[in-house]
Amino acid sequence: MARKFWIRTFGCQMNEHDSERLAGLLAAEGMEPAAELEDADVVVLNTCCIRENADNKLYGNLGQLKALRSRKPGLQIAVGGCLAQKDRGLVQQRAPFVDAVWGTHNVGHAADLLRRAATDGPVMEILDEPSEEEFPSALPVRRHLPHAAWVTIQIGCDNSCAFCIVPAVRGREVSRPFGEVVEEVEGLARSGVVEVTLLGQNVNSYGRDITLALRQEAGGEAAWRAGRAWVDEGARRARPLFADLLRAVGEVPGIRRVRYTSPHPKDLRPETIAAMAETATVCEHLHLPLQAGSDATLAAMRRGYTAERYLERLAAARAAIPDLAVTTDLIVGFPGETEEDFARTLEVVAEAGYDSAYTFVFSPRPGTRAAAMSDSFVPDEVVAERFSRLKVVVERSALARHRARIGRVEEVLVEGPSKRDPAMVSGRTRQNKLVHFPPSGAPPAPGTFAQVRVTSAAPHHLGGELVSSEPKGPRARVPIPVTAG
């Protein structure tokens, strides 16, 4: 009987994509996904370390798994991802029953480490830099949604935001060759994928490292690595290639929706906005992290832009792209944030009028500049009060924007039954808005495009009624359980 695996994912889309690759690797070893955690022979916790409570989540889950292993002596437990990269030997020090630990740069060694642990005992492998074969594109994959796919275009980050641990756990920016990304998307389209999301820590800067290296080279290799548009320019400027990539991916036959995350406001260039506006398959959704509206706080965060500059780029995007939905990230209580600073954040958030926002309470991460600012930490009770006020402003604009969509007929890509009410169907609009609607007869299958009239609005979703749906294309692979936490 085949061994079974269960993967639990914490954190961002990059971690979710890594989990898909882990699932592919374990399936290639002959394992099968477990229907329930208790059925698993191998449990992998793919970790995040962005938030302070990431440690608590990990060790809380490990405590539960220790109890499970007392009932299943052969159970293997593994920890991978960003927290493993950061904490290294601390994981097995605090949880000596963990069989295998690996970092962000050696996901591809997961199956081998589990094999070694089965015979030699607990193992740990943390690489400080990625090797070519460790790029996510080089690994097998099993996707949660067969009609939609993450496509990693870049790993690492060259920014130095004071609050962020990502450069320490993901390394410097490394961009995939242009031609390799396009070929992957072409292969996905042939397999029935209709929506791709381009992933990077700072997608706007994709390709800058490639063009820096290619300024003195020429020929077919340059076109493969940087794209024909860059080669044909003739000037051989060192510049990002993201706008070129958006256009190229958007032209792949069979791909109907292109998304990307996450950009950095300081790198949102006019050519990227133009590519979004002029490429029909690129969705009308821009995630543009503000983090704070106070220039003093932004400077302390080392974000590289002012609130005015941010709003100018947001206005340029909205002017070029009709019906653009805009989402953002916001941090409350960054060290030294005054009431005046926070009031400015509220003003900018209200002026931006976001469709939704991910709001976070500042948490110091060891190894970041902000963690050393303990003398200026904002008291917890002040942060909690500010967080509540920010939520009111965010949800007010979100609800207003959603109510403005009532009566419209939206193209919705069906994801499946609603998680809260299985009698309802859930899907997403091109603006990435979640829509719940009752089926008319047999529910449309996941991956189906449906026309849905919006009939109600809430801050975080829309309600609607089915108008029509397209016939489902070729049957895609069955999804496997890769849970997020």
Proportion of the chain above pLDDT 90, given as a percent:
56
What pLDDT band is residue 472 in, cutting at 50, 70 and 90?
low
- In this structure, of 271-275, 429-433, 474-478, the range with the lowest mean pLDDT score is 474-478
Exposed, middle or buried by CB within 10 Å (0-12, 13-18, 19+), for 18? Answer: buried
What pLDDT band is residue 483 in, cutting at 50, 70 and 90?
very low
Spatial distance between the Cα atoms of 33 and 75, rounded to a whole number of angstroms: 14
Say whether pLDDT at 145 is over 80. Answer: no
**pTM, two decimal places:** 0.81
Dihedral sign of CA atoms 73, 74, 75, 78 in order: positive
Spatial distance between the Cα atoms of 434 and 190, rounded to a whole number of angstroms: 27
What pLDDT band is residue 485 in, cutting at 50, 70 and 90?
very low
Give the residue, 485 or 119, on which the prediction is more confident. Answer: 119
Give the residue, 52 or 405, on which the prediction is more confident. Answer: 405
Q: How high is the pLDDT of residue 382?
A: 98
Q: How high is the pLDDT of residue 28?
A: 81
What pLDDT band is residue 479 in, cutting at 50, 70 and 90?
very low
Choose the most confident range, by mean pLDDT, from 72-76, 155-159, 226-230, 288-292. Answer: 288-292
Choose the most confident range, by mean pLDDT, from 64-68, 233-237, 387-391. Answer: 387-391
Indicate the average pLDDT of the chain: 88
How close are the terminal C-alpha atoms of the chain, in Å? 29
Say whether pLDDT at 135 is over 60. Answer: no
pLDDT per residue as tens digits for the range 333-380: 999 999 999 999 999 999 999 999 999 999 888 778 998 999 999 999
Domains of the chain: 4-132 (3.40.50.12160), 145-283 (3.30.750.210), 284-404 (3.30.750.200), 409-474 (2.40.50.140)
What pLDDT band is residue 330 in, cutting at 50, 70 and 90?
very high
Say whether pLDDT at 122 is over 80. Answer: yes
Task: Take residue 68 and report the two structure tokens written for it.
Answer: 């499970």
Q: Once rounded to an integer, what is the mean pLDDT over residues 97-109?
A: 81
Exposed, middle or buried by CB within 10 Å (0-12, 13-18, 19+), for 319? Answer: exposed
Say whether pLDDT at 14 is over 80. Answer: no
Q: How high is the pLDDT of residue 19?
A: 80
Match 């829509």 to its residue by tokens: 435
Give the residue, 232 or 11, on which the prediction is more confident. Answer: 232
CA angle 373, 328, 147 (to 5 degrees): 125
Spatial distance between the Cα atoms of 69 and 91, rounded to a whole number of angstroms: 17
Say whether pLDDT at 480 is over 80. Answer: no
Q: How high is the pLDDT of residue 24?
A: 79
Q: How high is the pLDDT of residue 364?
A: 87
What pLDDT band is residue 128 in, cutting at 50, 70 and 90?
low
Spatial distance between the Cα atoms of 112 and 350, rounded to a whole number of angstroms: 51
Q: Once rounded to an integer, what is the mean pLDDT over residues 388-397?
A: 97
pLDDT per residue as tens digits for the range 26-74: 888 888 989 898 889 999 888 876 665 666 777 788 888 888 888 888 8
What pLDDT band is residue 139 in, cutting at 50, 70 and 90?
low
Q: How high is the pLDDT of residue 150?
A: 87
Spatial distance between the Cα atoms of 397 and 393, rounded to a whole number of angstroms: 7
Q: How high is the pLDDT of residue 438?
A: 97
Q: How high is the pLDDT of residue 129?
A: 64
Q: Once rounded to an integer, what is the mean pLDDT over residues 70-95?
A: 83
Proportion of the chain above pLDDT 70, given as a percent:
89
Task: Take residue 62 and report the two structure tokens written for it.
Answer: 């490990």
What pLDDT band is residue 398 in, cutting at 50, 70 and 90?
very high
What pLDDT band is residue 477 in, cutting at 50, 70 and 90?
very low
Say whether pLDDT at 440 is over 60. Answer: yes
Choose the most confident range, by mean pLDDT, from 76-90, 179-193, 356-370. Answer: 179-193
What pLDDT band is residue 1 in, cutting at 50, 70 and 90?
confident
Q: How high is the pLDDT of residue 481?
A: 41
pLDDT per residue as tens digits for the range 301-325: 999 999 999 999 999 999 999 999 9
- In this structure, of 98-107, 183-192, 322-331, the range with the lowest mean pLDDT score is 98-107
